[in-house]
Amino acid sequence: MRYRARTVPLVVFALLVPGCSSAPPVTDDVTAEVFGPERSEWLGGLAWLADGRIVISMSDPGDEISADLWEAGPDGEEQIALLPLSGCNLTRWWRPYRLPDGRLGAVRECATIPPVPDDVVAIDDAGGVEILGTTPAIVSQLSWAPDMSRGLMGAGSVICQTVLWADRDGFAPLGVTVGNGENSYVIDQGEDTGSADCPGDPRADWPAISPDGQTIVFFVSTGSIGIGGQPRLDALWTLQVVDATGTEARTLLSAIDEPRSPQWSPDGTRLAFAADINGTSGTWLIDPTAEAPEVRRLYDHAFGWLDWSPDGSEIVGMRDEDPGELGSRTRLVILSGPGLALPSE
């Protein structure tokens, strides 16, 4: 049973000119409900599975170096029983997400010396694990084509983050051009993305493949080109869209800071994501296929992680109660209401 928190105003923001700085107006078409207790353990992702379970990655209470998968409920969490890998000092489970075939996807880390690549895995209802591939570096988000033949991942050192195609045999660059003319750049970095400095490359991250496999969205920061080290993290981003078989991306939105967790609705008509846009923080909704997209501010917090319910009528997100602080408190929040639909729906 969920318990109601407070009604949160929905903001409708029409970005007819990307980069517009006016603040979005407020309406009240979205309701936010807190789901479950406050948590102080670190959260490393969440997924809303087809069977209705909400799965999070969380450290064990009192054991900050651990990371396990838990089923979140209104009264707390229940750990999902998964066998540790033999030969590992510690097995960690990160980045839970819903796979196209309905299974739970995750990243499995074997903490050992010398280090080994993390596994990208699929987990069935009985706890059985199938290895889908590996990761070359730190992974932000994974997204698979409907037939599970290949997927996209945001991977790198954060400073030198890029988007890669991945399958069981390895990795390949995204190979998509962003920008126009002299200001165009190809996202062609390979799997060696762990460099501490890469001033010649744009940062690219947070890819998401549409449910029908026809369209890809991702964020790119061309402003980071020519900048080295930590200052790269201050450059703004744009949201890009491209056909899955195309090579020329189109800019949907600009003036974006700290983007996170873009997620397609199950019917493929809407995209939800968290970010600061033109200095306004929030969780947002957009039609990524529109030429002049309208952007809706669904919530006044930028969720750390989010996912759609299986029927597309709700969104669950992780809200940070102490932004910017280590060991901060978090809550799960569920958004619902007519504001989650597009204006024409």
Q: Please report the pLDDT score of residue 327 as a whole number.
A: 59
Both 254 and 140 in a single domain? yes
Both 189 and 315 in a single domain? yes
The answer to whether residue 16 scores a pLDDT higher than 60 is no
Single residue among 134, 169, 200 that ends a domain in this structure = 134
The answer to whether residue 1 scores a pLDDT higher than 70 is no
Mean pLDDT over residues 38-53, rounded? 90
- Alpha carbon 78 to its chain centroid, in Å, reads 23
Q: Give the pLDDT band (50/70/90) at residue 9.
A: very low
**What is the spatial distance between Cα 258 and Cα 138, in angstroms, rounded to a whole number?**
17
Q: Are 83 and 90 in contact (CB under 8 A)?
A: no
Fill in the amino acid letter for 302.
A
Comparison of pLDDT for 218 and 116, the residue scoring more:
218
Q: Give the pLDDT band (50/70/90) at residue 204.
A: very high
Both 105 and 215 in a single domain? no
| Best CA proximity match to 47, nearest among 112, 100, 91 | 100
The answer to whether residue 52 scores a pLDDT higher than 80 is yes
**What is the spatial distance between Cα 95 and Cα 111, in angstroms, rounded to a whole number?**
16
> In CATH, what number is assigned to the domain containing residue 288?
2.120.10
Both 250 and 223 in a single domain? yes
The answer to whether residue 279 scores a pLDDT higher than 70 is yes
The answer to whether residue 15 scores a pLDDT higher than 90 is no
Tell me, yes or no, if the pTM score tops 0.85: yes
Comparison of pLDDT for 254 and 87, the residue scoring more:
254
Q: Are 57 and 95 in contact (CB under 8 A)?
A: yes
Both 67 and 56 in a single domain? yes
Both 121 and 62 in a single domain? yes
Mean pLDDT over residues 69-87, rounded? 91
Mean pLDDT over residues 173-187, rounded? 92
Both 72 and 189 in a single domain? no
The answer to whether residue 324 scores a pLDDT higher than 80 is no
Q: Give the pLDDT band (50/70/90) at residue 307.
A: very high
Q: Are 49 and 72 in contact (CB under 8 A)?
A: no
**What is the spatial distance between Cα 105 and Cα 153, in angstroms, rounded to a whole number?**
13
Q: Give the pLDDT band (50/70/90) at residue 291.
A: confident
What is the sign, positive or negative, of the torsion defined by CA atoms of 120, 126, 127, 130? negative
Q: Please report the pLDDT score of residue 42 as a whole number.
A: 77
Fill in the amino acid letter for 337.
G
Q: Which residues are CB-neighbours of 114 under 8 A, at least 6 positions away?
A: none
The domain of 103 spans 42-134
pLDDT in tens, 100-123: 999 999 999 998 888 889 999 999
The tally of domains found in the chain comes to 2
Both 12 and 91 in a single domain? no
Both 119 and 153 in a single domain? no
Comparison of pLDDT for 262 and 65, the residue scoring more:
262
Q: Which residues are CB-neighbours of 142 under 8 A, at least 6 positions away?
A: 95, 97, 105, 107, 120, 151, 152, 153, 166
Q: Please report the pLDDT score of residue 248 as a whole number.
A: 96
- Alpha carbon 55 to its chain centroid, in Å, reads 15
With respect to residue 12, please indicate whether it lies within any of the assigned structural domains: yes
Rg (CA), the chain: 19
Both 192 and 225 in a single domain? yes
Concatenated DSSP letters of 5-71: -EEEEEEEEE-SSTT--PPPPEEEEEEEEEEEEEE-S-EEEEEE-TTS-EEEEEEETTEEEEEEEEE
Both 274 and 308 in a single domain? yes
Single residue among 76, 107, 134 that ends a domain in this structure = 134
Mean pLDDT over residues 325-334, rounded? 81
Of 19-28, 133-142, 148-157, 253-262, the range with the lowest mean pLDDT is: 19-28
Both 235 and 172 in a single domain? yes
The answer to whether residue 4 scores a pLDDT higher than 50 is no
Q: Please report the pLDDT score of residue 17 as a whole number.
A: 38
Single residue among 134, 162, 188 that ends a domain in this structure = 134
